[in-house]
Each structure stands twice: as structure tokens, then as C-alpha cells.
Amino acid sequence: MLTPVKPGPARLRACVYHSQNLLQSILVTAQITATVQTDLKDGNIAEVEFSLSDRLQPDDLPERTLNILLNENLDGTHTFAVLGANVKKQFSIDQGNEAKLARQKLLDICSTRDKKGNLRYLYSDDNNSGDEAKLIRDLKELAYWGWKLYCHFAMEPLDDDFETKLEATLQGPSTIQIASTRSARYVYPWAAVYDKPFVRSPNSIVCSEALKLLRTGGSSGFLENISCPQNGCPQAADTNVVCPLRFWGFKHSIEQPANSGEIVREIPMASDPKCVMGAHSLLSGAQHCQEIERECYLTADYGETKNDIGKSLASTKPHLVYFYCHGGSTSGAPWLGVGKDEHIDSSDLKAWKVKWPETRPLVIINGCDTVDLNPDDLLDFVTTFAWTRASGIIGTEISIPESLAREFGREFLRQFLTGSTVRDVMHRVRIRLLEKYNLLGLAYTPYCYGDLHVARVPSPS
């Protein structure tokens, strides 16, 4: 490596990987001068910008297929560092509008606005079921924007070898780890990325084999182990055909672990699961709390005022923290809406001295009927909840209607509390919604280690 010709700051990133798990990323900034200097105010600086583990004893970490590091640069662009067994590339991209437009399409799929500007859910009933005609329309629209997401990511380096190797690496179901540095303020909707070449036209169709599988149906989960109909797609090269199983959220396992310096793989549980639940008063929080207590065999400390929720968060040792809420941001500061339009800010957790080093709860933010809290805003809460020693967050890419929020809450908690990993539960919930002609499982995103699970431990004597 050569010293840059021009004087000024130069940066170098040193990453430590193990089996495509990014353990640490260190950014080194050096001042390049034309002559020897001894009194530089800002000399060489090294900053740990990402840390999955500070112990660097990774032998027991499962292998990941691909690792994608995200970092925001001083000029507003974003660095993507991609590493797989046979692929390695670092490049910068402009933020662009692809992510925003893909999320808007997800929102358009599930809702419309009435004359007063309020969101109206488009699915037919509280079962969150669609129909074949709607699914076909939705798939063709979302595949178009999902393919643009893929192209924005895969084509930016202008490297044919990288494109070919990336496609080969992710040909089958894979585990992808997303590592966001402290400076990263750009959340890519990875679940909505679509990797089958697609040219939208009036003649575009959805794969007949996939539609046949959905029509035939079966018991809940019948699509879980199918990566492609008949173990091979005769229409793989047809750019006119959409395959629902080529969205990354259905095809791959995607994890975004917290940048906290430690890997949290389990939530120890020596008793029945305990939950702190905070809700907005205009939502059906009390009814939802009763149904998850009954169906998931947990005990919830439920509150609808900011004061009560704060006391519960500070005094309880929960295994789960569940916000069934609205959300938004004021002057760039995000908040969770509870009670009668009260706001919980990320800084409130510090004021309440909330810490959970023993139970390591998983936090679920089920943002209902609001479009004012976006995934970029959630990063503030991801960082703050890592400080509280929470194991991670489940959040949403878009505003979620209540019927979907309730179904997701029930199904996720029921399966997670039996010991299944977040990775497996997310895949099952997404697929089971797809079996009902509903694509909105792609709207939920986990910010935690994919192998996170509940571990039953002996009660203290």
C-alpha cells in the first residue's frame, strides 16, 4: 500500500473476520504531509467503528455466507464492504431513492388513504389474507423495486467479476450478516431486495409453478422448505417472470447484530417469561396483551402511560419488552408514542437508569398506523437498547396495520418462547403470511444476532 500523493487525511479500514462474521472493524485516519511534522494537532487516529465481539475468540461462531459492512462517509456517500468465501469488494454508493421507494411500495401494497388522509388497510379481514389477483399485482410491483435495490447494490462497483461472484454466492438460501458501523445512518430494506433479473412490462407474469403451490395449499408452513418449485426453475432466465421466493426475506436469513462489542445468543430464562408492555391508548393494547398472555404463556406488566411504562422498565427484569405503539420524530429526534400521545425518547431510558444485564430481553417495536418513524430513526433506539443490555430489537420498515401487528406479535412470541431462533421464527412468520397471499412479512426487520433464542436455565436455589 502506497502513501497518497496529495497531503491531507487518509483513511484505512482494518477488519477482523471469522467465517464471514465481522468481529471488529477499525478505521485508521492518518494525516499525510509534504514534509515531516512533529506538532500535528490531529495525528493518526484509530477508531473501533464496529465490534461484534471484543474477545476475539470466535471458534464457536457459525459460518455466514456473506458479510456486508455499511459505513457513512464524510461526503454523504455510503461504504459497502462485501466479503464471502469467493467474493471480496469495497465500494461507495450514493444513498439514492431506491430504499425509500421500495418501502413506499410496501406501504402501497397494504394500504391506501381515505379522504381525510388516514391509512386504510387493503387486506380483506383480520386474518390478513389476500387473494391471488392482489398477490400477482403486488409481486410485479414489489419485484420491480426490489430488483432496482439489487442493481443499486450489485452494479455500483462497475465490476463484472464482483457481480458474477455475488450471484453465485447467493444462488441458494444463505445467511447474510449486515454490520452497521456507528456512523452508518442508512438502513437498506434487505428483505425486499429481489435478485431474479426482471424487466417490467404489460406482459409480466408470476411463476405458474409458484401460483400452483399456493392454490394447492397445505398445512401452515407448507412453503418453508421450498427454495424453488420442483428443485429448479425452468423460468430462471426469463426476465418476464416473477418468482416470489427470490425476495431476500423469503430466500435468505438476514441478521443485523447490534454494534455492542458482545454477541448475545441467548436469553436465560429460569421462570415463566416476563414481559413489559407499553401501548398507545388508541390501539387495542389491552386486548392484545391478554391474547399474548393466554397464547404465549407469559406474564405482562402492562402500561399505557409514560410514567407507568418507565417505572416498569426500570424495576422489572423482563425477558421481553414490547412496544405496541405509534411512532415519529420531532426535529430529527425519534420517539415512541404511548398513552394519550405521550412520547418515549431514547434518552428517557438513560434517565430511568434502565439496565438488564441478567435477563437480556428482546425488544419488539410494533409501530401501528403511523408513517412518521422510519428505519433510520430506529437506529437511535437500537444503540440505546444495546446500552441497556437488551439482546436486540425487532422493528418495522413501514407503518403496520393493527391486525397485522397483532398476528405478528402472537406468532413471533409463541414460536420464539419455545426456543426457536430469531432467524428461524422470522422466516416462518414471513412464509406463513406469503401462504395467505400476503407479502408484508417483508416489512419486519430483526436487529440482533440471528441465532438469538430463549434458553431455559435452572432456577436459583
pLDDT value of position 443: 93
pLDDT, tens digit, 9 for 90 and up, residues 88-115 = 999 888 777 888 888 888 888 887 777 7
pLDDT, tens digit, 9 for 90 and up, residues 347-396 = 999 999 999 999 999 999 998 866 567 777 788 888 899 999 999 999 99
pLDDT, tens digit, 9 for 90 and up, residues 154-183 = 988 889 999 999 999 998 899 999 998 876
Where does residue 221 fall: left (phi above 0), alpha (psi -120 to 50 degrees), or beta otherwise?
left
pLDDT value of position 423: 95
Residues 6 or more apart whose Cβ sits within 8 Å of residue 31: 8, 9, 10, 37, 40, 42, 43, 44
pLDDT, tens digit, 9 for 90 and up, residues 305-314 = 999 999 999 9
Q: What is the DSSP letter of 386?
A: H
pLDDT value of position 230: 47
Mean pLDDT of 268-284: 94
The rounded distance, in Å, linking the Cα atoms of 51 and 261 is: 5
CB 135 within 8 A of CB 205: no
The rounded distance, in Å, linking the Cα atoms of 375 and 373 is: 7
pLDDT class of 327 with cuts at 50, 70, 90 = confident
63: exposed, middle or buried (Cβ count in 10 Å: 0-12, 13-18, 19+): exposed
pLDDT class of 231 with cuts at 50, 70, 90 = low
Question: What is the fold, at CATH topology level, of the domain defined by 266-456?
Answer: Rossmann fold (3.40.50)
Longest alpha-carbon distance in the chain: 75
40: exposed, middle or buried (Cβ count in 10 Å: 0-12, 13-18, 19+): exposed
The rounded distance, in Å, linking the Cα atoms of 207 and 228 is: 10
Write the CA distances from 33 to 7, 43, 187, integer angstroms: 5, 11, 36
Q: What residues does each domain of the chain span? A: 1-62, 98-255, 266-456
For 22, phi and psi rounded to 5 degrees? Answer: -85, 110
pLDDT value of position 232: 66
- Cell numbers found for residue 420: 426457536
Mean pLDDT of 401-428: 95
